[in-house]
């Protein structure tokens, strides 16, 4: 990657923290391109980055609006873990992003389950992880990261402007995206190493220390139901444990807590 983001239709490549970064000016979705690349080679630590996405994907089949100025990237890894453990990589990526943003820009970014990064209660970043598995084997994982970096709120549809924020809007200046990516990868690498050393409980605790919703009364919207109660914990499997208003305790595997999402 050059100091500036690439212009024109071609691709440029560079290496940061041992990751090969392939930069595109425009892609439909960096996750889609990363999956295509991962299926054709056996390598890992490849990052696909685009200056803009025309069909950016969010969680739960939502669209992710990705204008110029953001950081839209997807990272290919081949961790030796069972498919049901892949969420751990998403968790350590969200901690790495929140911590890097906090230390670089002196902000108070927090994580909202499962992996939204919020600043001032508005969504700054989302993560979409996709995995390719067979039986008990993970072939590869693609961690898609979308950070609203140098974007003006007017560049988002009206309907999203209340719930989203960007670094430019918060800080009042354009951030150096390359430096931010370097910081995040550095932080992620440390955590990934600790994960491989078996330090998951420590990493989960660090994630919880950055979590904004624990102990609070929340609304959880999943694919087919809407629940309300107190968020008690996030367990070892990444599920949200909630005490419903009627007293029952439920584990929720997929959904959104409260508001602040791209539709």
| Pick 124 or 170: Cβ nearer ligand BTN | 124
Long-range contacts of the stretch 209-215 (C-beta < 8 A, 24+): 210/94, 210/95, 210/98, 210/99, 210/109, 210/110, 210/111, 211/110, 211/111, 211/112, 211/113, 212/110, 212/111, 212/112, 212/118, 212/121, 213/112, 213/113, 213/257, 213/258
| Pick 29 or 138: Cβ nearer ligand BTN | 29
Is residue 166 a contact residue for ligand BTN (CB under 6 A)? no
Is residue 116 a contact residue for ligand BTN (CB under 6 A)? yes
| Pick 59 or 88: Cβ nearer ligand BTN | 59
CB of 261 to ligand BTN, least distance (A): 6
> What would the DSSP string read from start to end of 216-249?
SEEEEE-SS-EEEEEEEEE-TTSPEEEEETTS-E
Cβ 33 vs Cβ 26: under 8 Å: no
Q: Which of 19, 24, 64, 213 binds ligand BTN (CB under 6 A)?
A: 64
CB of 125 to ligand BTN, least distance (A): 8
Is residue 90 a contact residue for ligand BTN (CB under 6 A)? no
| Pick 19 or 72: Cβ nearer ligand BTN | 72
Strand segments, DSSP code E, in the chain are 11-16, 19-27, 46-53, 71-77, 110-112, 116-119, 122-134, 137-147, 217-221, 226-234, 240-244, 249-252, 256-257
CA distance 191 to 193: 5
CB of 69 to ligand BTN, least distance (A): 13
CB of 250 to ligand BTN, least distance (A): 22
CB of 72 to ligand BTN, least distance (A): 4
| Pick 130 or 182: Cβ nearer ligand BTN | 130
Q: Which of 6, 114, 126, 229 binds ligand BTN (CB under 6 A)?
A: 126
Phi/psi of residue 209, each to 5°? -65, -25
Q: How many residues bind ligand BTN (CB under 6 A)?
A: 22
| Pick 94 or 187: Cβ nearer ligand BTN | 94
Which residues are at the interface with ligand BTN (CB under 6 A)?
29-31, 53, 56-59, 62, 64, 66, 72-74, 116, 126-128, 144-146, 262
């Amino acid at each position: 990657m050059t100091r500036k983001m690439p212009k024109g239709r071609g691709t440029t490549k560079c290496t940061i923290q041992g990751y090969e970064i392939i930069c595109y000016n425009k892609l439909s979705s960096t996750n889609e391109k990363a999956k295509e690349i991962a299926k054709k080679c056996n390598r890992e630590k490849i990052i696909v980055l685009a200056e803009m996405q025309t069909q950016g994907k969010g969680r739960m089949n939502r669209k992710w609006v990705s204008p110029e100025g953001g950081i839209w990237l997807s990272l290919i890894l081949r961790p030796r873990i069972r498919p049901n453990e892949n969420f751990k990589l998403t968790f350590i990526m969200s901690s790495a992003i929140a911590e890097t943003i906090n230390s670089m820009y002196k902000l108070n970014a927090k994580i909202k389950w499962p992996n939204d990064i919020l600043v001032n209660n508005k969504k700054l970043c989302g993560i979409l992880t996709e995995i390719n598995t067979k039986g008990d084997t993970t072939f590869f994982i693609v961690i898609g990261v979308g950070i609203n970096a140098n974007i003006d709120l007017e560049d988002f549809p009206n309907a999203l402007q209340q719930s989203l924020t960007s670094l430019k809007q918060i800080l009042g200046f354009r951030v150096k995206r390359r430096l931010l990516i370097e910081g995040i990868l550095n932080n992620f690498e440390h955590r990934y190493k600790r994960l491989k050393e078996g330090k998951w409980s420590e990493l989960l605790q660090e994630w919880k220390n950055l979590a904004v919703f624990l102990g609070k009364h929340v609304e959880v919207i999943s694919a087919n139901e809407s629940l309300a109660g107190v968020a008690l914990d996030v367990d070892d499997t990444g599920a949200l444990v909630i005490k419903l208003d009627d007293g029952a305790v439920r584990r929720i595997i997929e959904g959104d807590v409260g508001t602040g999402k791209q539709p």
